[in-house]
Structure 1
């Protein structure tokens, strides 16, 4: 409930790493977000500091990320921010910022993309049941202009 939700725009810095395990699929990649500003003295756009985030994705989003996200592509990532500090191999504490992504998309202000729904898995087809006829026919008029009686309709439930 009291989580920090963010939306960041940046470039994919590492190739997504995809994993399948007993608990489900996951993927991760690094995202570089560089601030740009107008430098009045130089009269040009200048790159500012670059922030790096590790983006974590799960389930179907992980499958889709592994299939279509590549290094260097501009993306928009929305998710929950998690900042933590790690001690690696006896070194001093290193802060890191992770994003548990709930949505990722290509930044269409910097290029084009062709959306394609994923194909359904080749699971055993389920037996299809015909849809019941829920429509009730309109009353028709008799030659004298009066509405005819509707036949009684019934719905068979199996």
Structure 2
């Protein structure tokens, strides 16, 4: 409650790094580059402004989906909780902006994407639930199931 949620549009600046915590919870981390663009009336063209970088973290099922779907350089829209961290290095104060992702998707104004829904397989009594992919290409299904099984 009362957390700052933002939506950021940018490009993946580092390859998504998928890991599992000691408790088996899936997490993926990557950097998102966001470059402001503005119309320069004098030159009658769009020009780039400064670039901001955000560290994006996604957890559990979202982490597995990002790892299976997102690559370096792709345009994304990220919605998440903004966290500003202050640190001191070599006597200088540094600030970093992090996003705890709630939702991540490709920016379809800049390309196309194919969506594959993940469905939950109804477990047998006493067995843990195991996710599966409907109509997933070979390789994606085994990764997504393995990636989400421990952290779901």
- TM-score normalised by the shorter chain: which range applies? 0.7 to 0.9
- What are the equivalent positions in structure 2 for 1:80-119 lying under 5 Å apart? 80-88=81-89, 90-118=90-118
Report the CA distance between 1:85 and its aligned residue: 1.1
Q: Who is 2:18 aligned against?
A: 18
Q: Who is 1:61 aligned against?
A: 62
The one of 123, 126, 150 aligned to 2:124 = 126
| Aligned-partner SS, 2:61 | helix
TM-score (norm 1): 0.73
After superposing on structure 2, the runs of 4+ consecutive aligned residues of structure 1 that deviate more than 6 Å are none
Gaps of 5+ in 2: 126-152
Higher relative contact order (CA 8 A, sep 6+): 2
> Radius of gyration: which is bigger?
1
CA distance, structure 1, for counterparts of residue 70 and residue 41 of structure 2: 36
Q: Who is 1:49 aligned against?
A: 50
TM-score (norm 2): 0.76
Report the CA distance between 1:22 and its aligned residue: 3.2
CA distance, structure 2, for counterparts of residue 22 and residue 120 of structure 1: 24
Deviations 1:80-106 (A, max 9, x none): 000111223x34121100000000000
Give the root-mean-square deviation of aligned CA atoms.
Answer: 1.7
Deviations 1:98-122 (A, max 9, x none): 000000000000000000123668x
Give the count of matched residue pairs. Answer: 124
